[in-house]
Structure 1
Amino acid sequence: MARKKNALRKHFIAPYNGGTMPTDADEKVWLPLAANITTISDDSEEKTDTAGDYAGDGNELDILTGRSEKWSYEGTYDPADPAQQLIAGMKRKTTDEERMLWHKVVESDGSTVVGAAKALEIVAGGGDATEFEDFTGHLDFVGTPTITKASDTGAGA
């Protein structure tokens, strides 16, 4: 299997606009989260419980009880970048509704993952005096995002 660089996975965000997701035809609405972003990590979390019963062999099993998909980003803050402007503008917002946006991930194989997300733990500025300003935080999908396989989009690797 061929290895692929992380930079082939693209992340885009768009304003939430009351819950109306932009279409791919609205490509100018989707802002690339890319310039000056050096790391984007999948920090998804899974919650499990353990249980065993008399139908089994006496050993406990781990049972998945929940999953939350989160993507953390870090880089340097560029207040002129439209994607960074959108996120940084939420920094002092205090309600879930004010932190909502759309997040689209285009995987390296051309598959897409898209859904409503919350921008959390936003840092837009700050850091060492001799360094460029920090830009960090994470985008947490709200519910299960929609996944479209590359074969369904006409794209592919």
Structure 2
Amino acid sequence: MARYKNALTKYYVGDLEEKEANLRLAKWIQAVEDDTDEEVEEEAYYDGDGTPEEDVISVKKKYSFEGFYDNDDPAHRFIADLEFEVGEDRKIWFKQERTSGEILEGPATVTEPKVTGGEASEYQHFSFAIAWDRKPDISKSDDDAGGGVEG
């Protein structure tokens, strides 16, 4: 079984109206965390033994990004420009390319963009979260050769 480095998963952002994410989030990004939120209900039924079953009601797929800010990087600037926006102006097109060859993309919302802060001796902090607004469209890439570098 092959193992792939997390850095081989690619994340892109772009304009919602164009439905194209062509700005890669990579430079100075140190960590991407899956902060998915699932709404789950538990119910027990008489046709079982009384043990509650879990039923997933909704899935909100969300990723939190963290690293250092670079004003010259177009993807960083794109996120930073959303800092004071609200409502529909925080909507973007978000794409993830997984090492399996799957491409997930669709409309998303950026929350909590931070482009400054920290100790004086540190580089500028950069963090934000992106959550798809609905289940993303899932397709396979034309180059379905897997993730590339194993490690």
Q: 1:41: which partner in 2?
A: 33
Please report the TM-score for the alignment, with normalisation by the length of structure 1. 0.88
Q: 1:26: which partner in 2?
A: none
Report the Cα offset of residue 154 of structure 1.
4.3
Please report the TM-score for the alignment, with normalisation by the length of structure 2. 0.91
Q: 1:25: which partner in 2?
A: none
Report the Cα offset of residue 70 of structure 1.
0.3
Report the Cα offset of residue 55 of structure 1.
2.0
Q: Does 1:146 align with 2:137?
A: yes
Distance 2:129 2:67 in 1: 12
What one-letter code is carried by the residue in structure 2 that aligns with 1:3? R
Q: 1:155: which partner in 2?
A: 144
Distance 2:126 2:51 in 1: 46
SS in 2 for 1:143: coil
Distance 2:51 2:109 in 1: 39
Distance 1:90 1:98 in 2: 7
Distance 2:95 2:69 in 1: 21
Distance 1:140 1:4 in 2: 24
Of 91, 107, 110, the residue aligned with 2:83 is: 91
Q: Mean Cα displacement is larger for which, 108-117 or 130-139?
A: 108-117
Distance 1:14 1:86 in 2: 8
Tell me how large the CA RMSD over aligned residues is: 1.3
Distance 1:57 1:156 in 2: 46
Distance 2:68 2:74 in 1: 14
Of 69, 81, 92, the residue aligned with 2:61 is: 69
Q: Which runs of 5+ in 2 are unaligned?
A: 147-151
Distance 1:40 1:79 in 2: 20
Of 105, 111, 115, the residue aligned with 2:102 is: 111
Q: Which has the higher contact order (CA 8 A, sep 6+)?
A: 2
What one-letter code is carried by the residue in structure 2 that aligns with 1:12? Y
SS in 2 for 1:49: strand
Distance 2:32 2:42 in 1: 31
- Taking only the aligned residue pairs, the percentage that are identical comes to 32
Q: Which runs of 5+ in 1 are unaligned?
A: 23-28
What one-letter code is carried by the residue in structure 2 that aligns with 1:15? D
Q: 1:101: which partner in 2?
A: 92
Q: Does 1:130 align with 2:117?
A: no
What one-letter code is carried by the residue in structure 2 that aligns with 1:2? A
